[in-house]
Structure 1
Amino acid sequence: MRRLILIRHAKSDWSLALDDHARPLNKRGRRSAPLIGAWLREKGYLPDEVICSDAARTRETFDRLGIEAPVTCTRMLYLAEAEDILEVLRAAEGATVALIGHNPGIGDFAGSIVVTPPAHPRFHDYPTAATLVAEFDIDRWRDADFGIARAVDFIVPRELE
């Protein structure tokens, strides 16, 4: 079995005159990311590998999760589409992998990998810092595909405030 923790970056700051890739988190995002990290620790959903978009807001989200795991930041996840995210996941090596990326790709990917979506009113719009935990009945990530994962848990930061 393989477990995936799929995290959309926390709320970013649009008030700064920076290009999209350089945007940091805003005040709400800086509050939300640690809440998601605490939830992951409380539930025992701890990754042994993290693959993160190289954008400022995704890297800051990871830093604020407070999760100890090796992290790889890659441009391949920056504004990636579902197919690109699957390609990145198939190259993963950990038994439990966290991917941190952006909408709309990450939400599309979440909806595409699970057999049955979680019964959560926010799953289909995948808001900032939304986190899906899904399990794959596979031995290697290279065997991951759409429509084969089981949704284990799903949370949004507002439920943790």
Structure 2
Amino acid sequence: MKNLILVRHGKSSWEYNVKDKDRPLKERGINDAFLVAEVLRKQQLNIDYVFSSPANRALHTSMIFCRELKHDFSNFQISNELYDFSGESVLSFVKTIDNNLNTIVIFGHNYAFTHIANSLGNNYIENVPTSGLVHLQFNEDKWSSVTKGITKQVIFPKQLRV
């Protein structure tokens, strides 16, 4: 069984004159990432590996999650393929993941994550919001065989804010 957890980066700031890859998180993005990471931590999943887009906002979000989950940074990798907005590059990346890894978390971007969640999951999601998490599960032994699975859970920050 393979588990793919997609986490869209936290809300980013547009107030700085920087390249898209360099945009930082807003305070709300940081707070929302902590909210969602805390819910995931309480589930005590055995996460084998974490991958992140090289974009600042995705990296910062992934660091918040890794710290909250006490994830071993030796099982963390940045991949340029995850700086993708269509979903094609992310899907190609997923198909090449080491089959010894059963549960992975990927930090990246929309529209890619909404597209993948809808293409591979069994529940329609209109939009994966910033800091949104979608957990997809596949009854497969090989990542290259992943096609259609189930949407095991969805955690959106809006559900968690008080």
Determine which of 96, 99, 105 is the counterpart of 2:103: 96
Which residue of structure 2 aligns with residue 8 of structure 1? 8
Which residue of structure 1 aligns with residue 30 of structure 2? 30
Counterpart amino acid of 1:90? K
Which residue of structure 2 aligns with residue 84 of structure 1? 89
Q: Deviations over 1:50-91 (max 9, x none)?
A: 111010000000111123041111111113422211111112
RMSD: 1.3
Q: Deviations over 1:13-64 (max 9, x none)?
A: 1111111000110010010111111111112334211111010000000111
Which residue of structure 2 aligns with residue 43 of structure 1? 43
Identity of aligned residues (%): 28
Q: Distance in 2 between matches of 1:46 and 1:60?
A: 22
Which residue of structure 1 aligns with residue 123 of structure 2? 117
Structure 2 residue runs without a partner (length 5+): none
Q: Distance in 1 between matches of 2:106 and 2:77?
A: 10
Q: Distance in 2 between matches of 1:30 and 1:38?
A: 12
**SS of match in other structure, 2:92:** helix
**TM-score after normalising by structure 1:** 0.90
Give the drift of 1:113.
0.5
How many residues matched?
154
**SS of match in other structure, 1:106:** helix
